[in-house]
Each structure stands twice: as structure tokens, then as C-alpha cells.
Amino acid sequence: MNKSQVGKFCWNELMTTNIAAAKEFYEKVLGWQYTEQAMGEHVYTFIKIATDDKPIGGMWEIPNHEKAQLLPRWTSYILVEDLEETVNKAIEHGATVKVPITKLSNFGRIAVIVDPANAAIALLDKLD
């Protein structure tokens, strides 16, 4: 982890009900390119721009059985050094936990908190 990036937005992710349409739209509008990787029973799409081979974000299709509960949306992630400490500090200052600390394959761990103004934000600590 690059410590100079801690506290910065580090990842953006789209949850969508139609991955093919989303990919086509953003490719035509922004020139995005994609690579896909199987993650358990799901396929995750990494977003890349033409000038950089490093992914800038990702997208995934909401499973059919969850489409009634989950709305399509973008989620932004902030890089943190110590996820447990950050989540606990957020709770101390009035946040609630929407998604508890969860490990993501070989990528890192996430948690989603809701701040006192009722805005959700995702936190990420990447694996080195």
C-alpha cells in the first residue's frame, strides 16, 4: 500500500442491472476498455483507460435474485491503512456499518459505513 494514498478515493465501482449495456455506454462515451475476472460465482469487470493498463475501477451485474433489493449505483472507495481502526473510529463519531468488514479475493478488504448525514461510503484496505 502506498501510504501517500491513504485517505484518498482509490476505486470506483458500478453495480448495474445490465452489464452489457453499461459497458457499451461507457466505452462509447469515455473510451473505457474492460477485462473480466471470475470471482466466485460472479464475473467482475475491471475498467481501464487507453493510456494506462492499471484498472481505475470496476463493475458487476446485480444477480437476478437481488435486483429487487439493490438499485444500480456507483460506489466510491477510500483507501485506509487500518480498516478495523477506521470503522471503529467512524462508529465512535456517529456512523453506522452498512456492510461489515469483508475480504475480497486477493484484492483486500472492504467495509461500507453510513455517516451521520446518512451518506454511504466504502472503505478499502488493499493487500500489499
pLDDT of res. 24: 98
How many residues does the structure list for the chain? 128
Q: What is the pTM of this model?
A: 0.85
Give me the sign of the Cα torsion angle 13, 18, 19, 22.
negative
Please check the confidence at residue 103 and state whether its pLDDT lies above 80. Answer: yes
- Fold classification of 3-126 (topology level): 2,3-Dihydroxybiphenyl 1,2-Dioxygenase; domain 1 (3.10.180)
- Band of residue 95 on the pLDDT scale cut at 50, 70, 90: very high
What is the Rg, in whole angstroms, of the alpha carbon atoms belonging to the chain?
15
**Mean pLDDT taken over the chain:** 93
- Domain map of the chain by residue range? 3-126
